Every structure is written in C-alpha cells, then in structure tokens.
Amino acid sequence: MTIKSDAQDRTVFLLTHTGRAAAIRSAERVVQGLLRCGIGVRLLADEAADLPLPAAVEQVAEIGPEGVEGCELIIVLGGDGTLLRGAEFARASGVPLLGVNLGRVGFLAEAERDDLDKVVDRVVTREYEVEERMTLDVLVRNDGRIVHTDWALNEASVEKASRERLLEVVTEVDGRPVSRFGGDGVVCATPTGSTAYAFSAGGPVVWPEVEALLMVPISAHALFAKPLVTSPRSVLAVEVQPETPNGVLWCDGRRTVELPAGARVEVRRGAVPVRLARLHHASFTDRLVAKFALPVAGWRGAPA
C-alpha cells in the first residue's frame, strides 16, 4: 500500500533514546524538518525535557493508544531496544512504525542516521509503504491455570534463571511431544525475530514474507535438539520439568516473568500484527547482506 497526500493536519509521534547525544541531534533534525513542512510533532514529555524544542511540539505524558491518537506514524530513533519499545506502542495503537537505526544491526529499522533528510522527505510526501509483520501471543499455565499472557514481535524465550544448573524442558508442537533436553532454554520466534535471538542461538534466517513459527533450542545437551520451522497455525509449547530449577520467560528481551518448575508456556501466532512503514523496495537478501556485512565478492549473477 503506497500512500501519498498533501501535508495538512498531520501529526507524527517521535520516540527516541535521549540518553545518547547522537539521538538528541537526530531528533532535533527530524523535528525541525517536519515542522518546516507543516507536520505536527508529538513527543513524550520526559523525552522532550532533554531536547531543545520549539513550543509548537506537542507533549504527552504517556504513549499508549490515547497518546498516539491521530498520529500518522511513530518514528523511532535508536537501536534495537528502542525499536522494540516503539513496536509495543505501534501494536497497541495500529499506527505504523518507521525505524531509524542509531545502534548496530537494527533489522527492524528502515533507515540509518545518514538518511534522516530522506526520511523526512518521504514522510512529508507520504512516499512509503506499510506492511504487516506477524507477532506471537504467549500464555503461561501453572497447574492448568493461565497465570500470565504476553506477546512478542521477535521472540518469546524460555530460559534458565541461574547459571549453575541446566533447565530441563520438554518441547511440543501441536499437542505432541518433540524432545526433552537440558540446556539454557528455548527460543520461539517469528520470521522477523529469526535474525535476532533465534539467529544467535543457531536458528535459520527466515524471509519476512514467509509465514512460519520457529523453535530454537539454546545450548541444548541432547542428540536431537535442532531448530524447527512450523506452520503459522501451529501451537508451540515448552514445559519446564517439575524437578528442574525455576526458569524465566522473556518476551522480546523486554518483558519478563518467572516460570516455576512445572510451568507450561504456549506460543501461537499473534492476533494483532505490528505495522511497519517501508521506504525502500530493496530485497530482504540485500538487507541481510548489508546488515551482516556478508562477503559476496565473486558473485556473477544468473546468466542473461
């Protein structure tokens, strides 16, 4: 979906990591560029306090659905952590997220800090596309009762809570057991998250347009503990064994809950996607090569 329109009565929410000098400079540049073109800018009050901003900038105390009401985009300036923070608000509000990477890899980001002027121009002219990324819905059961629910864009990981002992788990797909092993845990991921924690644990890279769920063991002590790629309609489960120490559930590395021995974590395709704004038509293959600096010297391409 390509969107184009005049810049009238439009507002953009800006989320940034003001603890970094580079982020503050970038935020000032984006704010000034948008205001010059007649586009309103809204920020969190506590972040605005760290920025020398004109009075025209709107400030809100929170960035819940009400805080972004009427906004066309959420522009996020920062690294992966800030981008995932922005994804929380994008999912809750349905407002598309446009990420500008100020960190290292930044697979969720659509632009780099050197592209700030281009980002402003594309926002002003509304020359961007919006795509949906699948998410995960996560629930935790204990003694058969649902004790916690959560969600994730990248991954939900079940991990050991202490370094001294392995976490004993049984993995399950669609109501059938797959394998029992001890290890550091298990990552359940989306294709978007395949280049994040799941990748570092040895999982496959999955192209974003592929609809699938991933289950990747972390440092498992087992003969069969391979990464699995399942249907997007599958339900993945990880059962923490009764005789093992407590574990911990992490969602996108941001939200956590303790898992007592015997707890069961179920992961399925999320009911609510995250909408991402895209400025480029570059293939995911090119993005992968660029982000990981993959060597491609000697490539000649397909014969004409």
- Paired sense of beta strands 58-60 and 40-44, if any: parallel
81-107 per-position pLDDT tens digit: 889 999 999 999 999 999 998 877 678
Residue type, 74: I
Q: Dig out the tokens for 78 from the structure.
A: 């920062």
The more confidently predicted of residues 52 and 173 is 173
**Per-position DSSP letters for 145-194, written without gaps between them:** EEEEEEEESSEEEEEES-SSSPEEEEEEETTEEEEEEEESEEEEE-SGGG
Q: What is the pLDDT of residue 67?
A: 85
Percent of the chain whose predicted confidence (pLDDT) is above 70: 97
Residue type, 271: A
Contact call for residues 178 and 143 (beta carbons, < 8 A): no
- Whether 117 is a known active-site residue: answer no
- Paired sense of beta strands 213-218 and 228-230, if any: antiparallel
Catalytic position from the list 80, 150, 184, 252: 80
| CA angle in degrees (0–180, nearest 5) for 111-117-119 | 40
Contact call for residues 246 and 260 (beta carbons, < 8 A): yes
Alpha-carbon torsion angle 146, 152, 155, 158, nearest 10? -30
Q: Which of 108, 94, 76, 219 lies closest to 158, judged by CA?
A: 219
Q: What is the pLDDT of residue 210?
A: 96
How high is the mean pLDDT of the chain?
91
216-250 per-position pLDDT tens digit: 999 999 888 899 999 999 999 999 999 888 999 99
- Paired sense of beta strands 73-78 and 97-101, if any: parallel
Percent of the chain whose predicted confidence (pLDDT) is above 90: 70
Q: What is the pLDDT of residue 200?
A: 95
172-218 per-position pLDDT tens digit: 999 999 999 999 999 999 999 999 999 999 999 999 999 999 999 99
Q: What is the pLDDT of residue 8?
A: 61
To which residue do tokens 């066309």 refer?
72
122-166 per-position pLDDT tens digit: 999 999 999 999 999 999 999 999 999 999 999 999 999 988 789
- What is the average pLDDT across 44-68? 82
Contact call for residues 107 and 196 (beta carbons, < 8 A): yes
**pTM of the full predicted structure?**
0.91
Least confident window among 53-67, 214-228, 270-284: 53-67
What radius of gyration, in Å, describes the C-alpha atoms of the chain?
A: 21
Confidence of residue 4 (pLDDT cuts 50, 70, 90): very low
Q: Helix or strand or coil: residue 85? A: helix
